[in-house]
Amino acid sequence: MVFIMKGFFTLVASATVLNACNAAIVLPRDASPEILAAKGLALAERALPNSPSGGYAPAPVDCPSPRPTIRVASSLSSSEVSWLPLRRNNTIDPMTTFLSRMNISGFDATSYINRVKNNASTLPNIGIAVSGGGYRALMNGAGFLAAADIRTNNSTNTGQIGGLLQSATYLAGLSGGGWLVGSIYTNNFSSVQDLRDGSKGSSVWEFGNSIFEGPDNDGIQVLSTADYFNTISDEVSSKSNAGFNTSITDYWGRALSFQLVNATNGGPAYTFSSIAETPNFMNGSIPFPFLVADERSPNTAIVSLNSTVYEFNPYEMGSWDPTTYAFAPTKYLGSNFTGGVVPAGQQCVAGFDQAGYVMGTSSTLFNQFLLQINSTSIPTFLRNIFTTILTDVGEDNNDIAQYQPNPFYGFNNATNRNAQAVELTLVDGGEDLQNIPLYPLIQPQRAVDVIFAVDSSADTNYNWPNGTAIVATYQRSLNATIENGTAFPSIPDQNTFVNLGLNTRPTFFGCNASNTTGDAPLIVYIPNAPYIYQSNVSTFDPEYNSTERNAIIENGYDVATMGNGTLDAQWPVCVACAVLSRSFTKTGTSVPAECQTCFQRYCWNGTVNSTTPDIYTPTYKLSEISVKGAASGLGVANTAVYAVSFVVAVAVMFS
C-alpha cells in the first residue's frame, strides 16, 4: 500500500512542480500598544486532546451523572443560556470602543451603549458567517476576520473595522469557512495574523504542500508523503478497529488537520467539544463557534433545499428543523442513544467528535467533485477516470460522514426522517446551495440583530459569487414545511445581483425592520471581489505558496475594509451603523443623519433586474499586485490529478 501511494504521489509531484516564491506579502500594519496588549494567547496553545483513547479513535467512558440525553430543539441549551451573559458582557467594552472610534456624527456611542448594556434585547447582537469554497473561502474569510480583529496590526486605525470580531457573539463557518473557524478555535482562538505567519516548527497554514502530499519535513510532522498517508491510514484504522464505521471523510478530515491544527500529526486526539473547556471560551472572552452540515439520504447524490440542516457547536450537535428537531451532546456523539437516552448499563462514548472529523463533515467536497466534474474544462480522459472513481466512492456511500450510532435513533418518530436509521449521513454544508452558514444565526432563539455574511462562493463562470447562497436561505425561509419560525429579509434573484453590482460590493438587506416578516436580522452581504488580486481561485485548487496565500488574505482584508477606506472613507462608519440598526429600532432612537446616508448608499432598495447578464468578469478595484508562482496557474486539469490521487490513495487504504 505504502509503495503504491508513494509512487503515485511522486509521479504527480514531478508533473506539477511550482516555482514558488518564498517571499511573503506582509500586510502593511504597524503594531500599537493597544494591539500588543490584545495579542492574548500564543499560537502554540491549543484546544484540549480530550479523546479518551489518546488518539483518533473514540472510546467508551463512564457516563456522567446525570446521564447525557437527547433534547427537543424548543430552546437554547442550558449551557448556551448560561454562557451568553458572560459573552454579552464581554462584548460591551470592545463594542463601545469600536463604535466610539467610528465617530458617527451627532451620536454619542459611549452613552448609548451604557444606556442599553443591561438589556440583552437592545444591546446589539452580532453574528459573523464565513462561507464555503475550499481554500479560497478560508483565505478570503481570513482576510475579513483579520480586518475585524483588534489583534491584527493597524486594524484600529483610520479606515479600519478592528474590534468587530471582539464585539460579536457568534461566529459560524461552513466547508472552507469551517476550516477557518475550526483552525482558529482548535488553536485556542489564535489570530489570523498568527496562523498566517506561523511559529517555529509549525506546519499550520502551510498550503504550499497540499493535503495530497503532506507537510514539509521541516514542520512539526516530520513525515514523507508515504509515511504521511500511512499515519492517516493507521489513525482511521484505529477508529474502525474500535467498532465504528469509517468513510472517506475520516481520511479527508485527518489530512486537513495536518494543515489546520498546530499539533503533531494534526492533533488526532483533539475534540471539537473541548473548545467548551478552554478558559477563554468558558469565561466568554471569545465568540460562540458553529460549523454546519447537511443531511443526505443514503444512495443519493443530490441534497435538496428542504433537506435537514445540522449545526455543530461546542456543546451540542443537532437540528432546529421540524424534521429532526433535536440536539445531542457533542462530547458524547458515538454513544448508543436510543429513544433519546443511553440505555441503562451501557457506557457512553467520547472522542467521536474529533476536531478534524467535524471540520471534514462540514466539507465533504468529494460529492461536489462528482456533481461539478462535467462543468469543468478537465480533459475528457481525465474526466472519465475521475468520474469512475468518484462514482464508485459515492455508490458505496463513502463520500459522506457517517454518524453511527445515529444519535437521533428512535427520537421524534413522527417527524424525524432518520428515526429508524442506525446511521446519520452528513455532507458538505453547502450542498443545498446555502453556502453561507446563516442557519445557526437566524434561529429566533438566538435573536441575532446583524449578520456579516462573507461570501466566497464560486457561482459564476469564473468562481465569483452571485448571491446564490443568500438567495437559497431566503427561499428556504419561505418554505412553511421547513423554516420553523426563522425570518429572513427579502433577497432578489441572482441576475439582479450581477446586473445591479450587488455581488461586487457590500450590500445591506433588511434595512427597514418594519418591512420584514418576523424578527429578521439585518444582513451585511460581503462578496469576494478583486481588489488587488484575482482571489477567484478554484474551490478544488489544493496548493498555494505563501505568497499567493498572503495575497488572497490581503485581498480579503481589502474586501472587508473597501480598500482601507480608499473606495469609501465612510465605510467603517456604515459598518457601525449596521451594527446599531436593529438596536435603534428596538429603543425608538432616531437614526443619525450619517447612518441614514449609509443606509441610502448600501441598502438594497428593492429594485430588480432579472434579465440574463453578460458573463461576469469584474475588474480590479485597486491596483493589481504581482504574485509569482501562483497556484492558480495549475489549472483545473492538474487540480483533477491531485484530487484523483487522493481518492486513489484512500481507495488503496480501503482495500
What structural domains and CATH numbers belong to the chain? 2-654 (3.40.1090.10)
Q: Pick the residue with more confidence: 144 or 4?
A: 144
Average pLDDT over residues 100-124: 96
Which pLDDT score is estimated for 646?
Answer: 53
Least confident of 2-6, 360-364, 374-378: 2-6
Q: Pick the residue with more confidence: 232 or 567?
A: 567
Q: Reply yes or no on whether the pLDDT at 219 is more than 90.
A: no
Which pLDDT score is estimated for 240?
Answer: 95
Q: Reply yes or no on whether the pLDDT at 366 is more than 60.
A: no
Which pLDDT score is estimated for 304?
Answer: 81
Amino acid at residue number 215: P
Local structure of residue 513 (DSSP, 8 states): G
Least confident of 10-24, 30-44, 456-470, 577-591: 10-24
Which pLDDT score is estimated for 301?
Answer: 63
Winning range, highest mean pLDDT, from 16-20, 367-371, 570-574: 570-574
Average pLDDT over residues 376-397: 54
Rounded to the nearest angstrom, the gap between the alpha carbon of residue 133 and the centroid of all alpha carbons in its chain is 9
Q: For the full predicted model, state whether its pTM sits above 0.85.
A: yes
**Contact (CB, 8 A) for 290 and 248:** no
Query: pLDDT tier at 75 (50, 70, 90 boundaries)?
Result: very high
Local structure of residue 288 (DSSP, 8 states): E
Q: Whole-angstrom distance between the N-terminal and C-terminal Cα of the chain? A: 9
Average pLDDT over residues 507-516: 86
Which pLDDT score is estimated for 385?
Answer: 54
Cell reading at 649: 490513495
Secondary structure E strands in 323-440 = 326-329, 348-350, 401-403, 424-428
Amino acid at residue number 452: F
Which pLDDT score is estimated for 21?
Answer: 33
Cell reading at 388: 469512475
Average pLDDT over residues 373-386: 53
Of all residues in the chain, what percent carry a pLDDT higher than 90? 71
Which pLDDT score is estimated for 215?
Answer: 79
CB atoms within 10 A of CB 536: 24
Say whether the peptide bond before residue 66 is cis (omega within 30 degrees of 0): yes
Sorted by sequence, the CB contacts under 8 Å of residue 171 that are 6+ apart come out as 127, 128, 130, 165, 181, 287, 288, 289, 290
Say whether the peptide bond before residue 572 is cis (omega within 30 degrees of 0): no
Q: Reply yes or no on whether the pLDDT at 473 is more than 80.
A: yes
Which pLDDT score is estimated for 386?
Answer: 53
Query: pLDDT tier at 389 (50, 70, 90 boundaries)?
Result: low
**Contact (CB, 8 A) for 496 and 591:** no
Average pLDDT over residues 207-235: 75
Which pLDDT score is estimated for 336?
Answer: 97
Which pLDDT score is estimated for 226?
Answer: 75
Query: pLDDT tier at 25 (50, 70, 90 boundaries)?
Result: very low
Least confident of 131-140, 335-344, 485-494, 510-519: 510-519
Query: pLDDT tier at 372 (50, 70, 90 boundaries)?
Result: low
Sorted by sequence, the CB contacts under 8 Å of residue 192 that are 6+ apart come out as 142, 143, 145, 146, 149, 152, 184, 553
Average pLDDT over residues 132-142: 96
Q: Reply yes or no on whether the pLDDT at 188 is more than 70.
A: yes
Query: pLDDT tier at 513 (50, 70, 90 boundaries)?
Result: confident
Average pLDDT over residues 422-431: 92
Q: Reply yes or no on whether the pLDDT at 133 is more than 80.
A: yes
Average pLDDT over residues 435-457: 98
Which pLDDT score is estimated for 483?
Answer: 92
Angstrom distance (rounded) from CA 273 to CA 278: 10
Angstrom distance (rounded) from CA 527 to CA 560: 9
Query: pLDDT tier at 84 (50, 70, 90 boundaries)?
Result: very high
Local structure of residue 406 (DSSP, 8 states): -
Least confident of 16-20, 241-245, 423-427: 16-20
For residue 140, is it left (φ>0), alpha (ψ between -120 and 50) or beta? alpha
Which pLDDT score is estimated for 518?
Answer: 76
The per-residue pLDDT for range 145-172, each reduced to its tens digit, is: 999 999 999 999 999 999 999 999 999 9
**Contact (CB, 8 A) for 264 and 204:** no
Angstrom distance (rounded) from CA 233 to CA 547: 31
Average pLDDT along the chain? 86
Cell reading at 338: 436510543
Q: Pick the residue with more confidence: 363 or 76?
A: 76
Average pLDDT over residues 203-229: 73
Q: Reply yes or no on whether the pLDDT at 26 is more than 80.
A: no
Distances (CA, A) of 371 to 303, 310, 374, 386, 390: 11, 22, 7, 11, 10
Q: What is the largest CA-CA distance in the chain?
A: 71
Q: Pick the residue with more confidence: 651 or 539?
A: 539
Average pLDDT over residues 388-401: 60
Torsion of CA 533, 535, 538, 539, to 10 degrees: 160
Which pLDDT score is estimated for 635?
Answer: 41
Integer Rg of the chain from CA: 23
Angstrom distance (rounded) from CA 353 to CA 104: 45
Query: pLDDT tier at 633 (50, 70, 90 boundaries)?
Result: very low
Angstrom distance (rounded) from CA 176 to CA 183: 11
Of all residues in the chain, what percent carry a pLDDT higher than 70? 81
Say whether the peptide bond before residue 405 is cis (omega within 30 degrees of 0): yes
Q: Pick the residue with more confidence: 20 or 139?
A: 139
Angle between helices 2-15 and 635-654 (to 10 degrees): 180
**Contact (CB, 8 A) for 175 and 360:** no
Q: Reply yes or no on whether the pLDDT at 250 is more than 50.
A: yes
Which pLDDT score is estimated for 9?
Answer: 32
Which pLDDT score is estimated for 28?
Answer: 35
Q: Reply yes or no on whether the pLDDT at 6 is more than 60.
A: no
Average pLDDT over residues 205-214: 84
Which pLDDT score is estimated for 40?
Answer: 37
